[in-house]
Amino acid sequence: MAVGVLALQGSFNEHLAALRRIGVKGVEIRKAEQLDNITSLIIPGGESTTMAKLAELHNLFPALREFVRMGKPVWGTCAGLIFLADKAVGQKIGGQELVGGLDCTVHRNFFGSQIQSFEAELPVPELAAKEGGPPSFRGVFIRAPAILEVGLGVEVLASVSIKEESAEPESKVIVAVKQGNILATAFHPELTIDSRWHSYFMKMSPSNNEITAASSSSSNYYEDPESYLYNKQPKTDLPIYE
């Protein structure tokens, strides 16, 4: 049994490469029947409206909703976050179909257009506690959504500070959450060399325990807290591919 990556459009190849870096087999998912052969699923970033149209064309929505309902781990990044939200605002005319399951409201283009994409250091105490490494994560936001509201059962894993043009103090907006079997990030961990989010996701499924145990000893980039992998290499403009 492998980890599936929805491969309709977007950064699915980058997620597959990130899984390989931690010793996990990932497979491309394009048909509903393929969901029967995977333990967990990643819905990547991309153009959410296009992904929704392709998913509808291939009649994937019923199968995706059933996959979430069964309690199998699902992780949505950027456009994948929009897919998993129960409610999305800021959509194009006519909106788009959602998979749902995550009790939150997402703003589709909260941070603006493509040219307003950015990177930010995000405090990630839960990730650091579970996976080790530095207390922050370098988030890559590309025409990114944001989470406006969450339900009582949703755990907030990361927020980013925003500064309004008014003279008000900085406020924060939620960019990573977990609810039961669902993980969602508004940014793109697959575009960095820091694989902790992928390792964290793998451990959400008991059936993946053997895989994560085998890969953790050989792929832990943060065993020495004074010599993180990304500090051993020159800074490189993202994205970074395998």
Chain-wide mean pLDDT for the chain? 84
Task: Look at residue 162 in the predicted model and tell me its pLDDT.
Answer: 82
The more confidently predicted of residues 238 and 153 is: 153
Catalytic center residues = 78, 188, 190
Residue 107 has pLDDT above 90, yes or no: yes
User: Cα(165)–Cα(150) distance, rounded to whole angstroms?
Assistant: 25
Residue 19 has pLDDT above 60, yes or no: yes
Name the pLDDT band for 165 (thresholds 50, 70, 90). low
pTM above threshold 0.75: yes
- Work out the average pLDDT over 91-113: 85
Any idea of the CA torsion for 89, 90, 96, 97, to the nearest 10 degrees? -20
Query: Of all residues in the chain, what percent carry a pLDDT higher than 90?
Result: 66
User: Cα(44)–Cα(215) distance, rounded to whole angstroms?
Assistant: 22
Domains and CATH numbers, the chain: 2-232 (3.40.50.880)
Name the pLDDT band for 50 (thresholds 50, 70, 90). confident
